[in-house]
Structure 1
Amino acid sequence: MAKDTFLNRKITLNLKGELLDLSRPCVMGILNLTPDSFYSNSRMDSIDAALERAEICLKEGAAFIDIGAYSSRPGAAEVTTEEELQRMIPAITAISKRFPEAKLSIDTFRAKVARESIEAGAHVVNDISGGNLDELMFETVAALNVPYILMHMQGTPQTMQQKPVYKNIGLEVVDYLAEKVNALKALGVKDIILDPGFGFAKNTTHNYQLMNQLQNLDVFGLPVLVGISRKSMVYKLLGTTADEALNGTTVLNTIALQKGAAILRVHDVKAAVECISIVEKMQQS
């Protein structure tokens, strides 16, 4: 692996007029406003709890806080748009007021939620469906002029793990993302972040094949986000639980950084920040 995998990559994101430099990888801390996210310690059931979680993420070095109000774990229960907004908007408003320096990413596949969240103070739209679950998403992101995280997934959170099949997962993910990137660029979306979608419509073998081929995404010249934090690809392989999956997560985050990841989406911000520092030092040596 070349030492300059990410050190020489000069990429910026425009966050409502403020440029964020991604030439050095950064961390996105997870903040869930859901009662059923797969990792119980990530669930915040009140505004006070959300504020406390946001403060921890920022103190530990997160560049972004990713707020979700609809659990996307396999088989998750359906949540209405109204309920998602009722969870999301008060949290965005409170965090933006208490921590005006915070850069907020909104984990949603709904254009209405994306639009109202950005208007409430958020900066980035993180769409697990790649625009497939709301035909208005791409044009909404283009109109909002904010960065968009484009993820690969098949089906919905309710159906995605029903025997997913790939002939060559690395090539199929690249082809999927290429089609979506072209559509977004045609609409004038300037800042696109790619997420290969670990754990979404992929079994354990698919996930590790995809990680092994992660550098294939370099062809786009776009920042890549990796979200494998405490997922089943870690704990099912090791025969443990999500609570015991930090060590495995750190190993995979290290590999992802070596393969060019620009953003690590994690539950454990401090561990990921330390991981970046160590990998960076190794690549400078």
Structure 2
Amino acid sequence: MSHTAHIPSHRKPRQRASKSALRAGVAGGVLSTIAVAGAAGPAQAEPVTQTIEMPTITSGFSTAVAASAQATQQVALDLETQADEDAAAEKAAKTAKKAHAEAVRKAEAKKKAEAAAKAKAEAEAEAEAKERAERASRTSERTTLSTSSGSSGSSDSGSSASAPSSSNVSGSAASIVAFAKAQVGDAYSLGSTGPNSWDCSSLVQAAYRTAGIDLPRVSQSQSTFGTQVSLDNLQAGDILYWGGAGSAYHVAIYVGGGQFVGAQNSSTGTVQRSLDYDRPTGAVRVL
């Protein structure tokens, strides 16, 4: 063994100075190269070269990403458009349904109105025809009674012997009674004076006018126009009144046989009734 074998070496370790250079470049799919060089000592350099492969970024990748984003956006727009179209269709359907229901309602209302108008026209025509017939009948009756009354007045010269047997009246009384009876069936209307609608006092006034006698217009005055007579001693043509003399609220004409004719009210119109139907308060005799 050498006597120097256990003597540590005093040789300084070799010092290495490293120098690195990095060059990188990416162009059209070319690999990047990194060069690393190391040199030891001031006088000697030992170059070391290592190649590292880097992932390649191509222009096709960015294009694909952009296309994918555009496609996603287009799908979203298509879905939104479809939703709008569905909502519009639903709204249109509801509007159409509502319009149809309204059209049906109006058609039914129009049909009912036409039916009601037709029924009303028919009723009015029937009522008018009936009224014309009644007027014609009353006119005929008035003419007959007037002729009969005139003939009776001429032949009887004031005597009651030739008075019509049905009413047992003659002269002016016959004319008054005939007129009053001819108005039976006419309407009642407060303030009316004929020829087809009366109130109680206007009917009495008009009846007396046929005999050439002018009566006051209202019931109160008519109830005192003449001589007060008992209800047990009535004669055809006497004026009946209800209420007090001078304050009567209703009048009528006694036509004989225990009957009177009067324009009663809007419900009954002009009627001929028994005295027992509505007993009067008193009576006056004008003739």
Higher relative contact order (CA 8 A, sep 6+): 1
Larger Rg: 2
TM-score normalised to structure 2 length: 0.23
TM-score normalised to structure 1 length: 0.23
